[in-house]
Homo-oligomer: A and B are copies of this chain.
Amino acid sequence: MDMTQYITDLAQAARKAAGVLACTTGEIRDKALLACAAALREASDDIQAANTKDLAGADELGLTDAMTKRLVLNDAKVEGMAVALADIAAQVDPVGKTITAYNRPNGLRLEKRRVPIGVIGIVFESRPNVTSDAAGLCLKSGNACILRGGKEAINSNLAIAAAIKRGLAAACLPAEAVTVLETTDRAAVSAMATAEGLIDLIIPRGGHGLIRAVMEAASIPVIKHLDGICHVYVHAEADLDMAEAIAVNAKCEYPAVCNAMETLLVDAAVAETFLPRVAAALKDAGVELRGGDRCRAIIPDMGKATEDDWATEYLDLVLSIRVVDDIAAAVEHINTYGSMHTDAIVTRSIAAAEQFITNVDASSVMVNASTRWADGGRYGLGAEIGISTDKLHARGPMGAEDLTSTKWIVTGQGHVVE
């Protein structure tokens, strides 16, 4: 298959569909979202049958337990996908929203308005519900999308896409508004990343290899959804009960996801008090602990954390722990080893919280809350296209509004420049 031609053809069709979407009202797009939700529910058995095929191949593809867990679809997960589409439909339409409007002294009227971006390419792995969430958010924001899921989920993704296309048809919208690639050839990713003038944005979500491949190939804008090396820092003035609950939750509630904690930083002032109790609680929850030297001086019974550990996203019940001198040392550790995703401080001190908020270079900074909250749904965005670890255009959990561009509208009465 000539991948460049294949992507060009799909993208040209998507571009036409984007032209149609750009002229729709929010009401029509919301009806389409509800029709897609209904179609997903109707197709639940088919989707789960396709998912079973994917799961049967998981071992052969060498998926880890964490990856396989993310691949599984069941009644609840399909229903969750449908509910997410309905949630997206219930949101305010981001398209046409006025960001700012004012008159200039000379009477010229300026307005900056949100408009769809056009065609968005999304490259992802593992979780098939991304197909539905991404399609829904693109549809909400008036964009056509081209989705390229992983090899491990190809059957699930195509079954979900088929249902969504039935929903689009029910709302009289073009099927090409949502396209799932039928190939998982990596060459398709490069072709997407260089489809200048056809695809406006490419969003890679997944492992380093995939994201690096997109970055290196790309001549169109990229918003990366890289890993989450998230930290919880227990400050000298922390409520230690709260700190323990947050640490256990951030590590154990769902370790396979990007907003789970990977490193616990404990202020030296409370290390002797706090470390024994949090270590016991984490071990009870089945977590393997790896400590820095100062940590192991207090709790000798744990493995040694290396430089690699500080920079590792375990996505599993493994945690590195480091004792730090103060908030400045905690910030330095986070800005050195973190991934600008989500980092938390537990403290009673306003000054410490402000210092942490200002100095930690992360997309989400949590004060007295678990890193696990970093999520578009939990932020009230309806669903999320992912969590941007970039600083441009969108940072952190991305909802439908993050999938819009803007347009200046300038109205005069014959105004010319002197």
Contacts and interface: CB of A to CB of B under 8 A. Distances in A.
Interface in A357-385: 357-359, 361-370, 372-374, 378-380
Interface string A227-255: 00000000000010110011001100110
Given A369-B108, A369-B415, A417-B249, A405 B380 contact: no
Given A117-B391, A373-B410, A407-B364, A245 B397 contact: no
Interface in A326-380: 353, 357-359, 361-370, 372-374, 378-380
Given A396-B406, A396-B408, A405-B392, A413 B365 contact: no
A27 B107 CA distance: 31
Contacts of A411: 353, 366-369
B23 A417 contact: no
A45 to B, nearest CB: 30
Nearest to A415: B369
Contacts of A215: 219
Nearest to A404: B391
A189 interface: no
A327 to B, nearest CB: 14
A396 B407 CA distance: 8
Given A104-B378, A358-B23, A369-B108, A395 B390 contact: no
B102 A246 contact: no
Nearest to A367: B411
Copies in the complex: 2
Contacts of A359: 22-23
Contacts of A368: 411-415
Contacts of A201: 391-392
Contacts of A412: 366-370, 373
A79 interface: no
A210 interface: no
A118 B373 contact: no
A222 interface: yes
Interface of A: 22-23, 102, 104, 108, 110, 117-118, 200-201, 215-216, 219, 221-223, 239, 241-242, 245-246, 249-250, 253-254, 353, 357-359, 361-370, 372-374, 378-380, 390-393, 395-397, 405-418
16 contacts: A241-B414, A242-B413, A242-B414, A245-B414, A253-B417, A253-B418, A357-B407, A362-B407, A364-B408, A366-B411, A369-B412, A372-B417, A373-B415, A378-B417, A379-B410, A395-B406
Q: Which A-B residue pairs are the 10 nearest by beta carbons?
A: A369-B412, A249-B416, A393-B393, A391-B405, A372-B417, A242-B414, A364-B408, A369-B415, A221-B392, A367-B411
